Copies of this chain bind each other. A is one copy, B any other.
Amino acid sequence: MDKVIVGIDIGGTIVRAGAFDSNGNLLVMRETPIEAARGPERGLSKIQGLIEQVLAESRAQSLTGIGIGCTGPLDPARGTINNPFTLPTWEDVPVVGWLQKCFHVPVTLENDADAAALGEYWQGAGRNAKRLYAVTVGTGIGTALIIDGQIYRGLDDSHPEGGHMVLDTAGPVCYCKAHGCWESLCAGPAIERQAREADLTNSQLLRISSGEPEKIDARMVFESARMGDDVSLRIVERVSRYFAQGILNIATLFVPDVLVLSGGVMRSVDLFMPELQRTMQTCAEMVPANRIQIVPAQLGYYAGLYGGAYTIFNKHL
């Protein structure tokens, strides 16, 4: 292989590196635990090692650049990670400068939600969509807007947080300080909380969790709902309504060509679709909501790698 681009995805648990050829094909991918709490220096060494590994395995003659997607907060312009929340001890870590020194190539840094959306734009579910809006529902709800292949940024290069739009001020309080934001109503922990707070007498959920409600996770709620469990069906119904309200608002405010859904909770998106489709018809008179393509993400865990690589592809190839 002649020239390759390396994409990196730094998550709270795992860091992945992939080598791409100049047509955007993923040649090789490797991953390792990031062990963030053992300090950024050790983490950066691990990342350097991963890059060297995928370069060797892809038999690259030369490296065009390195594009990183990383769990935020971070500063794309300065190239620093500042995320002691999900990467404990990683405060103001100059990852871009450090990798530039190691490899002497262009290095970019983007929020992981933005990187994943870029990946889906480049090689996934929203190829070349003029306006792509991505919603990731997992432990939290992350959002990203890609316009003509460019990340939409807020003031001072900030990353908008659509997952924290407020849908019901009577809802539970979130770590964002608001009551009833989208994430507090629909993300995994919200689903789990509703299950633990419910009366589980005679519920399938209690059996699935071996009688330990504190072990119930969102996947179990979906599984029980499919088996017809009343408590689980009520939770799914409630979450569906809020999920649909959030998507309706995205449709009304952005009218994207493609809306890409990803994340662990969205693996059960079929449970949410009936309510979503009903709700989307509501706003079809104000905006052409019926022409918005709502599609599942295609790149799964690799979206961030693709997105990282695309930022280099776009600038340097």
Q: Are A248 and B166 in contact (CB under 8 A)?
A: yes
Return the contact of A177 from the options B154, B166, B285 (Cβ within 8 A): B285
Q: A161-B287, A178-B282, A285-B177 are in contact. Are A245 and B166 (CB under 8 A)?
A: yes
A74 → chain B, closest Cβ, in Å? 14
A-B contact pairs, 8 of them (CB 8 A): A155-B257, A164-B286, A165-B165, A165-B248, A166-B248, A176-B282, A176-B285, A249-B249
Residue A197 at the chain B interface, CB threshold 8 Å: no
Query: Contacts A166-B167, A282-B176; is A156 near B288 (CB within 8 Å)?
Result: yes
Say yes or no: is A169 at the interface (Cβ < 8 Å to chain B). yes
Q: How far is the CA of A130 from the CA of B253 in the complex (A)?
A: 19
Instruction: Name 6 extra pairs, CB < 8 A, besides A131-B155, A156-B288, A178-B282.
Output: A155-B255, A164-B252, A164-B286, A166-B249, A167-B167, A177-B282
Return A182 CB to nearest CB of chain B, in Å. 10
Chain B positions within 8 Å of A256 at CB level = 154-155
Known contacts A285-B176, A287-B154, A291-B155; A160/B245 CB under 8 A: no
Interface residues in A207-249 by Cβ distance below 8 A to B read 241, 245, 248-249
What is the chain B residue whose CB lies nearest that of A156? B288
Question: CA–CA, A288 to B168, complex, Å?
Answer: 22
